[in-house]
Amino acid sequence: DAKTTQPPSMDCAEGRAANLPCNHSTISGNEYVYWYRQIHSQGPQYIIHGLKNNETNEMASLIITEDRKSSTLILPHATLRDTAVYYCIVRSGGGAGSYQLTFGKGTKLSVIP
């Protein structure tokens, strides 16, 4: 699976949009971009994923660049409960070795009142 690079930490004011970047310059054609978050030692929570088109759900939006080498997770109106470590993960769509999620260090997002 392709490796990802994320900033170690970010701050965001409550009520503002949080934009979390991720670089995955070695991503291959059949690899998806997934975002998870972990709120203070709870189990990781799935947020969103995409292949090449931008995606939106009730939690967030995922913007993937045209060359697919980077992406941005957008939390449109951050709240204090969004304070967590956010993980960007690249994983292939199937086959041996695709079952595991490889968690890096992620980005620690602190939402400030």
Partner 1 sequence: NAGVMQNPRHLVRRRGQEARLRCSPMKGHSHVYWYRQLPEEGLKFMVYLQKENIIDESGMPKERFSAEFPKEGPSILRIQQVVRGDSAAYFCASSPRVVDSYEQYFGPGTRLTVT
Q: Which stretches of the chain bind partner 1, using CB under 8 A?
A: 32, 34, 38, 41-46, 49, 51, 87, 93-94, 96-106
Q: Which two tokens mark 81?
A: 């409960």
Min dist CB 113 to partner 1, Å, is 27
Q: Which is nearer to partner 1, 37 or 82 (CB)?
A: 37
The secondary element (H helix, E strand) that includes residue 44 is none
User: Is the CB of 98 or the CB of 110 nearer to partner 1?
Assistant: 98
Measured from the CB atom, the residue of 17 and 39 that comes closer to partner 1 is 39
Is 72 exposed, middle or buried (CB count within 10 Å of its CB: 0-12, 13-18, 19+)?
Answer: middle
Contact status, residue 54 vs residue 64, Cβ threshold 8 Å = yes
CB of 71 closer than 8 Å to CB of 33 = yes
Residue 85 or 111: which CB sits closer to partner 1? Answer: 85
Q: How far apart are CA 46 and CA 6, in angstroms?
A: 17
- Smallest distance from partner 1 to CB 3, Å: 13
Closest distance to partner 1 from the beta carbon of 50 (Å) = 8
